[in-house]
Structure 1
Amino acid sequence: MAVALILVLVAIGSVAFHLFSPWWWTPIASNWRYIDTTIIITFWITGVVFVAVVVFMAYCVFRFRHRPGQQAIYEPENRRLEGWLTVVTAVGVAAMLAPGLFVWNQFITVPEDATDVEIVGQQWQWSFRLPGPDGKLGTSDARAIGPDNPLGINRDDSNSKDDIVIEGGELHLPIGKPVKALLRSVDVIHDFFLPELRTKMDMVPGQISYVWFTPTRTGTFDILCAELCGVGHFQMRGTVVVQEQSDYQAWLQEQTARKFARLAPTE
């Protein structure tokens, strides 16, 4: 009886913790509400199954507890029960996978009007590169990385001359405009994580990964590294500032001194 009661309390406590927990995710600030919806669907399905299994275990412990003179029945298999369990499990797994596949298709399909922005992770800071007036980012090469070119930008690419380079500062973005973030690492594996924008992707040295998102709320949002990258991992933080279009354009015009052509030494 005590074991059955504990199991029931575990089920009730789990549901209550889920409903009244103070550790819900932060309010969303991008177009990725689909991710929240997918997680909630998964919570509902797995939560119902968890409660059903625990309550069933409590019932079995109480219903089939040991009693003097009662002998257990040996039943090695039950095809009807196995069939129902297979069908219910398959439906539950499909219900969890289908929304995820739909969201994943959106996640990898970048809008044609998205602006390319490069984000570089290194121990232990974030650096950014924005396209200049030509709207195009220049190419980069890890072999070009050096003290005077920490992002490895290609000096021979004409598109890189007006690129805006920001080392360890703030990344400014306009509200309501899709952004394709090109992610690179120059040393070890990092992970670009914007909790409010529901954006998270690994950054592997030698590879260029990407994510895209559309900011839907102005404000200042923290960039975190979600991959243990060394002793300074805890302080690897950055900032994204989402602004109205007019404010963003005003900020962009003030970044003349950060153009790569001015930062790169003349030969």
Structure 2
Amino acid sequence: MYVAVALVLVTLGTVVFHLVNPWWFTPIASNWGFIDTTIDITFWVTGTVFIAVLLFTAWCTYKYRYDPNRRSVYEPENKKLEWWLIGLTTIGVIIMLAPGLVAWNEFVTVPKGAAEVEVLAKQWSWGYRFPGKDGVLGKTSVKLIDDDNVFGVDPKDAKGQDDVVIDDSELHLPLDKPVKLLFRSTDVLHNFFVPQFRAKMDIIPGTVTYYWFTPTKVGTYNALCFELCGTGHYLMRGTVIIDKENDFKAWLAEQPTFEKSMKEAARAANQGFAKLESGQAKPGNENSKRVF
């Protein structure tokens, strides 16, 4: 009797907690509302089964509680019950699986005309690369990655010279324009996730993964690494800013191209070497003290 009452109270408490709890989805800011719908369907199916099983257990505990005058009945199988369970389970799986398959098909099918942006993950920051005026991202190689060329863009590839490289964790994207994010990692597993966009994807060293979405609300959003990636994992945050198209174009025009970045890096290196040589030639002067 007490067990049955406890099970009923647990069931009621669970339902009440769900209705009054403050932890809900963040307001959606992309086209992926269907993902929310899929999660809702899964919740209602599994929630219904959870409540039904607990209440059935409570009823059985009360109905078939110990009675010295009752004799047990040996029933090794029950065809009717088995068919009911098979049918209900099949219906439940179909209801949960079908929306997920539809959502996944849309998730991996990138619309024509979607802009491509490369997202580079590294311990513990983000970087971004946009194609230049030619609309094509240049070739890359891990062998070319260094402090000046963090993306490993091939300097011999003419298509990469006008690529816009952003070695910073702030990304701007235009409103209501589909975008395909291409993910690369220079070290370990990472995961790029903006809760308001719903989409997320693992970033795997040695391969390129992707997802696409269409931003639907102007605003500033946190980009989180959702894969444990080392001691600085908690620091790996970025910012995604959704702008109106004119504001986005103005921001993009201010960003350096790969060609410009490499020239500036070479100029800085030459200036450094010049100071170093000057310091070595006159070890007693102030430049020498500053260099060493």
Q: TM-score range by the shorter chain?
A: over 0.9
SS at structure 1 position matched to 2:162: coil
Contact 2:177–2:214 at 8 Å: present in 1 too? yes
SS at structure 1 position matched to 2:94: helix
Q: Which residue does 1:227 correspond to in 2?
A: 227
**Distance (Å, rounded) in 1 between the aligned partners of 2:15 and 2:141:** 51
Q: Indicate whether 1:260 and 2:268 are aligned.
A: no
| CA deviation map 1:26-69 (0-9, x unaligned) | 00000000000000000000001110011000000000000122
Q: Indicate whether 1:207 and 2:207 are aligned.
A: yes
Amino acid at match of 1:246: N
Q: Indicate whether 1:117 and 2:117 are aligned.
A: yes
| CA deviation map 1:106-153 (0-9, x unaligned) | 001001110000001000000001122222211211221122211111
Q: Which residue does 1:70 correspond to in 2?
A: 70
| CA deviation map 1:217-259 (0-9, x unaligned) | 000011100110000000100010000011111112222xx21
SS at structure 2 position matched to 1:54: helix
Q: Which residue does 1:59 correspond to in 2?
A: 59
User: How many Å apart are 1:209 and its aligned residue?
Assistant: 0.2
SS at structure 2 position matched to 1:264: helix
Between stretches 115-124 and 2-11, larger displacement belongs to 2-11
SS at structure 2 position matched to 1:27: coil
Q: Which residue does 1:106 correspond to in 2?
A: 106
**Distance (Å, rounded) in 2 between the aligned partners of 1:142 and 1:133:** 24
**Distance (Å, rounded) in 2 between the aligned partners of 1:21 and 1:218:** 28
Higher helix share: 2
Q: Which residue does 2:88 correspond to in 1?
A: 88
Amino acid at match of 1:63: K
| Paired-residue identity, % | 53
User: How many Å apart are 1:168 and its aligned residue?
Assistant: 2.3
Amino acid at match of 2:25: W
Q: Which residue does 1:164 correspond to in 2?
A: 164
Q: Which residue does 2:136 correspond to in 1?
A: 136
User: How many Å apart are 1:155 and its aligned residue?
Assistant: 1.3
Per the normalisation by structure 1, the TM-score is 0.96
CA RMSD, 1 decimal: 1.2
**Distance (Å, rounded) in 2 between the aligned partners of 1:169 and 1:236:** 9
Higher Cα Rg, which structure: 2
Contact 2:114–2:180 at 8 Å: present in 1 too? yes
Contact 2:223–2:240 at 8 Å: present in 1 too? yes
**Distance (Å, rounded) in 1 between the aligned partners of 2:157 and 2:110:** 24
SS at structure 1 position matched to 2:129: strand
Amino acid at match of 2:221: F
SS at structure 1 position matched to 2:76: coil
Contact 2:165–2:257 at 8 Å: present in 1 too? yes
**Distance (Å, rounded) in 1 between the aligned partners of 2:159 and 2:10:** 61
Contact 2:169–2:237 at 8 Å: present in 1 too? no
Contact 2:190–2:204 at 8 Å: present in 1 too? yes
**Distance (Å, rounded) in 1 between the aligned partners of 2:159 and 2:216:** 29
Amino acid at match of 2:126: W
**Distance (Å, rounded) in 1 between the aligned partners of 2:132 and 2:16:** 52
Q: Which residue does 2:281 correspond to in 1?
A: none
Q: Which residue does 1:189 correspond to in 2?
A: 189
SS at structure 2 position matched to 1:128: strand
Q: Which residue does 1:246 correspond to in 2?
A: 246
Amino acid at match of 1:260: F
Segments of 4+ in structure 1 off by > 3 A? none
Aligned pairs, number: 265
Q: Indicate whether 1:23 and 2:23 are aligned.
A: yes
Contact 2:125–2:169 at 8 Å: present in 1 too? no
SS at structure 2 position matched to 1:50: helix
Amino acid at match of 2:125: Q
